């Protein structure tokens, strides 16, 4: 599971960023469909997207739902959202902080003695903002242990085991001194939510987000590997070509760092509610969106990526898990939003796909601006390559 961010950081680096001369243009369905077709042509089996501009919306799909089939992807299908999960988990943590049940400066040792070797120095703030120094457990080869993809669905693990994998490598740096993306942070946050509320994280998500927002297709599965209902099939490269990964990974391995299942409509609705203040009080929302650059230059808030563009900041997250690559961003002024889903996490030509996705994002969120009018800038490939280790 990767952080993603590899594509989205380009919004910072694009040399075309300049002041917005006039009001943004209206959505152009033909342009958006052309951009989505270009993403698929660049090296993925299929994809779909939802774009909104106020009350106007566009939904499109391109390519194939199955590389060996003939049907187009269903834009209403459920998929694994990967690290977009982090925005949901961070929201619950910040709600608990607003209720006085947690504090940003509480340390991990308070809740779990001896879980981390330096638990007294690692705070909730560090975990939320990727500044704890914890090694990313997804980079430990023991996570998959050479188990074939088709057998991983039966491999159920608990969060403590994932954290033990991470801490066996020792801290990467003193807490707070640097910012490096690590999925381990959000596994620990999930454990803290459960400790404080005395219920599992899924129950808290249902009570605090899923039910209030009527997200009926969204869930955090515990160890059920099957993507039920109207599922989007996902594919990954197992070494000798694409194989189906839809039901091939036990979600316990992703935990609260990336296991949520949802739809484009419901992910967009979540970010709309979050960023409009329906889920958090103003002080907590301000904290969440106050981003600091990670060591790779990506501005990261508390479970959110906040990127400047020519038409203002865009806020959201992206995620990658076996079978799926997705991006969910909203303009800071709340007028525009986009959710893009690709049915593979291993594009045939990742550089070309990255370029095409950036064009789609900018045409959706900044139509008619200088940044959207041109091709991604020359810093694109070097920027992506510097971020590909974030998995």
Q: Which residues contact 181 (CB under 8 A, 6 or more apart)?
A: 3, 5, 130, 136, 294, 296, 298, 300, 390
Q: What residues form DSSP beta bridges with 47? A: 62, 342
Report the 3 state secondary structure along 257-291.
HHCCEECHHHHHHHHHHHHCCCCCCHHHHHHHHCC
Q: Which residues contact 100 (CB under 8 A, 6 or more apart)?
A: none
Q: Is 262 an annotated catalytic residue? A: no
Tokens representing 100? Answer: 């006085």
Angle at 266 between CA 284 and CA 333, to 5 degrees: 50
Which pLDDT score, from 0 to 100, does residue 2 have? 55
Sign of torsion over alpha carbons 322, 324, 325, 327: negative
Q: Catalytic: which of 61, 62, 83, 320?
A: 83
Angle at 8 between CA 181 and CA 385, to 5 degrees: 70
Ramachandran bin of 237, using left for φ above 0, alpha for ψ from -120 to 50, beta for the remaining angles: beta
Q: What residues does each domain of the chain span?
A: 10-387
Residue whose C-alpha is closest to residue 116's, from 125, 106, 105, 107: 107
Burial of 377 (C-beta count, 10 Å sphere; 0-12/13-18/19+): middle
Which residue has tokens 């969120």?
365
203 contacts 219 by C-beta, under 8 angstroms = no
307 contacts 11 by C-beta, under 8 angstroms = yes
Which pLDDT score, from 0 to 100, does residue 306 have? 86
Which pLDDT score, from 0 to 100, does residue 78 have? 98
Which pLDDT score, from 0 to 100, does residue 266 have? 98
391 contacts 2 by C-beta, under 8 angstroms = yes
Q: Which residues contact 27 (CB under 8 A, 6 or more apart)?
A: 51, 53, 56, 58, 364, 367
Angle at 253 between CA 346 and CA 275, to 5 degrees: 75
Tokens representing 248? Answer: 């091939």
119 contacts 108 by C-beta, under 8 angstroms = yes
- Angle, helices 85-98 vs 264-275, to 10°: value is 30
pTM of the predicted model as reported, rounded to 2 decimal places: 0.91
Q: What is the DSSP letter of 179?
A: -
Which pLDDT score, from 0 to 100, does residue 278 have? 96
Q: Could you list the mean pLDDT of each consecutive 10-residue stretch along the chain, which spans 391 residues?
A: 48 37 66 97 97 93 96 96 97 98 98 96 98 96 78 89 96 97 97 98 98 98 93 90 91 96 98 96 96 89 86 88 94 89 93 88 81 42 35 38
Positions of E strands within the chain:
46-53, 56-63, 79-80, 235-237, 242-244, 261-262, 292-293, 299-300, 305-309, 312-321, 324-331, 336-342
CA–CA gap between residue 362 and residue 303 (Å, rounded): 22
Which residue has tokens 């469909």?
33
Q: Which CATH code is given to the segment(s) 10-387?
A: 3.40.710.10
Ramachandran bin of 137, using left for φ above 0, alpha for ψ from -120 to 50, beta for the remaining angles: alpha
Which pLDDT score, from 0 to 100, does residue 211 have? 98
CA–CA gap between residue 340 and residue 360 (Å, rounded): 9
346 contacts 35 by C-beta, under 8 angstroms = no
């Amino acid at each position: 599971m990767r952080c993603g961010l590899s594509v989205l950081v380009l919004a910072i680096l694009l040399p075309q960023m300049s002041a917005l001369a006039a009001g943004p243009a209206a959505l152009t369905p033909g342009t958006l469909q052309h951009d989505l077709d270009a993403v698929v042509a660049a090296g993925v089996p299929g994809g779909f997207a939802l774009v909104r501009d106020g009350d106007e919306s566009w939904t499109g799909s391109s390519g194939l739902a199955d590389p060996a089939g003939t049907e187009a992807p269903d834009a209403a299908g459920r998929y694994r959202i990967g690290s977009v999960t982090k925005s949901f988990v961070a929201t619950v943590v910040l709600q608990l902080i607003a209720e006085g049940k947690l504090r940003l400066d509480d340390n991990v040792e308070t809740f779990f003695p001896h879980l981390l070797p330096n638990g007294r120095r690692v705070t909730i703030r560090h975990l939320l903002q990727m500044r704890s120094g914890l090694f990313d457990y997804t980079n430990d080869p023991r996570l998959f242990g050479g188990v074939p993809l088709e057998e991983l669905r039966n491999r159920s693990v608990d969060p403590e085991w994932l954290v033990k994998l991470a801490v066996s490598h020792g801290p990467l740096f003193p807490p707070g001194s640097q910012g490096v993306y690590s999925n381990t942070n959000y596994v620990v946050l999930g454990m803290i939510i459960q400790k404080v509320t005395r219920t599992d994280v899924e129950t808290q998500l249902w009570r605090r987000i899923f039910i209030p927002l009527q997200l009926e297709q969204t869930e955090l599965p515990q160890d059920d590997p099957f993507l039920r209902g109207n599922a989007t099939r996902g594919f990954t490269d197992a070494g000798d070509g694409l194989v189906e990964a839809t039901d091939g990974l036990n979600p316990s391995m992703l935990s609260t760092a990336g296991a949520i299942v949802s739809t484009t409509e419901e992910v967009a609705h979540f970010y709309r509610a979050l960023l409009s203040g329906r889920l958090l009080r103003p002080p907590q929302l301000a904290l969440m969106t106050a981003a600091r650059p990670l060591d790779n230059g990506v501005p990261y808030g508390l479970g959110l990526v906040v990127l400047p563009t020519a038409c203002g900041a865009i806020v959201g997250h992206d995620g990658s898990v076996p079978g799926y690559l997705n991006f969910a961003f909203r303009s800071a002024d709340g007028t525009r939003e986009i959710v893009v889903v690709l049915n593979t996490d291993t594009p045939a030509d990742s550089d070309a796909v990255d370029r095409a996705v950036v064009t789609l994002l900018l045409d959706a969120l900044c139509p008619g601006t200088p940044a959207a009018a041109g091709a991604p800038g020359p810093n694109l490939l070097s920027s992506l390559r510097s971020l590909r280790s974030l998995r």
